[in-house]
Structure 1
Amino acid sequence: MRFRLPIAILALTALTACGGSASRLNPFKWFKRSAPAPVVSVETPADPRPLVNTVLSMQIESYPGGAIVRATGLPPTQGYWSAELVPRPVDEKGTLVLEFHVFPPVGAAAVVNQQSREITVAYNLSDIKLQQINEIVVQGGSNARSSRR
């Protein structure tokens, strides 16, 4: 009983140390909010599906054991399907490019409103993979969004 209080105080002290700006242990400091990024030119596509026209948003959500990259794209019409974030190899600067690929509609498709055309996809990254990554870029056809550590 008398050991619980000192152990609790030590645990709280260690936990508050993760809040420092230099700490890499705090998962809330792993990646910043996404920002517009230049489009990366790719000689050979990683997937035969075309890229989504516009990447509207990108978030990186941490969880114990890794992180989930979630992106929302906007194709020109409704009916696009089988969307996926396809990874390119991590470059020497630690940048991971995820290409946002999606199949176009089979037939003619309507253009109603933006909300009905938005497509959201996610990609899982383990802590081991994240160790070599400093920046994550989600690539669309006309734009890209990125987030840095």
Structure 2
Amino acid sequence: MIFRRFAAPALLTASLLALTACGGNVNLNPMGWFSSDGVEEIALIPEGGFLDDQENRGLVADVIELEILRAQGGAIIRAKGLPPRLGYWDAELVPENFERPEDGVLTYMFRITEPYYRTQTGRSKQREVYVGHFVSDIKLQGVRTIRVVGANNSRSARR
């Protein structure tokens, strides 16, 4: 009875203290079992980036209209594109140079996704695709011209 009451906790405490003094490569130290000392995290990124980061959309065939609309706190760039056939989707104005002007010109690529199957050509009015993009006044500082680029042509508008 006395052993259980005094000796067992004392023996357990002494053995834990003895194990904490262990060092070297032997991992018998219970204080180091849950620590992450010496572990180096490595990020594995494939060459060329992840598939989500890659741009798979092509340029619209023709940019047929470009309009800059004033808005509160900036401007809205509105462009109309004409793909070669029906069914194109997921259109967007993708900024070049991280939306920084180059020689006073802010450039956007008119990107659009091709349909997965063969579609009809249709009339040009049926194929028109509209996109819009808001640009803040801060990003418009120093910009004199906004340019939207397609596969066959580009359109520019002066501010």
Please report the TM-score for the alignment, with normalisation by the length of structure 2: 0.62
Q: Name the aligned partner's letter for residue 65 of structure 2.
A: S
Helix, strand or coil for the counterpart of 1:78?
coil
Q: Does 1:112 align with 2:126?
A: no
Q: Does 1:70 align with 2:87?
A: no
From 82, 87, 95, the equivalent of 1:79 is: 87
Q: Does 1:61 align with 2:69?
A: yes
Q: Following the alignment from structure 1 to structure 2, what is the Cα–Cα distance between the partners of residues 54 and 122?
A: 16
Is contact 1:56-1:72 (8 Å) kept? Answer: yes
Deviation at residue 148 of structure 1 after TM alignment: 1.7
Q: Following the alignment from structure 1 to structure 2, what is the Cα–Cα distance between the partners of residues 144 and 92?
A: 16
Structure 1 segments (4+ residues) deviating >6 Å: none
Q: Name the aligned partner's letter for residue 131 of structure 1.
A: Q
Is contact 1:94-1:134 (8 Å) kept? Answer: yes
Deviation at residue 91 of structure 1 after TM alignment: 4.2
Helix, strand or coil for the counterpart of 2:65?
strand
Is contact 2:56-2:113 (8 Å) kept? Answer: no
Larger radius of gyration: 2
Q: Following the alignment from structure 1 to structure 2, what is the Cα–Cα distance between the partners of residues 138 and 115?
A: 20
Is contact 2:88-2:114 (8 Å) kept? Answer: yes
Q: Name the aligned partner's letter for residue 112 of structure 1.
A: G
Helix, strand or coil for the counterpart of 1:142?
coil
From 134, 139, 142, the equivalent of 1:129 is: 139
Helix, strand or coil for the counterpart of 2:59?
coil
Q: Percent identity?
A: 43
Q: Which runs of 5+ in 1 are unaligned?
A: 1-45
Helix, strand or coil for the counterpart of 1:128?
coil
Is contact 1:47-1:86 (8 Å) kept? Answer: no
Deviation at residue 83 of structure 1 after TM alignment: 0.4
Helix, strand or coil for the counterpart of 2:130?
strand
Q: How many residues are paired up?
A: 104
Change (3 A) 1:135 1:47: farther
Q: Does 1:147 align with 2:157?
A: yes
Q: Which has the higher contact order (CA 8 A, sep 6+)?
A: 1
RMSD: 1.3
Moved more, 86-95 or 65-74: 86-95
Please report the TM-score for the alignment, with normalisation by the length of structure 1: 0.67
Q: Following the alignment from structure 2 to structure 1, what is the Cα–Cα distance between the partners of residues 102 and 121?
A: 41
Q: Which runs of 5+ in 2 are unaligned?
A: 1-53
Is contact 2:101-2:142 (8 Å) kept? Answer: no
Helix, strand or coil for the counterpart of 1:116?
helix
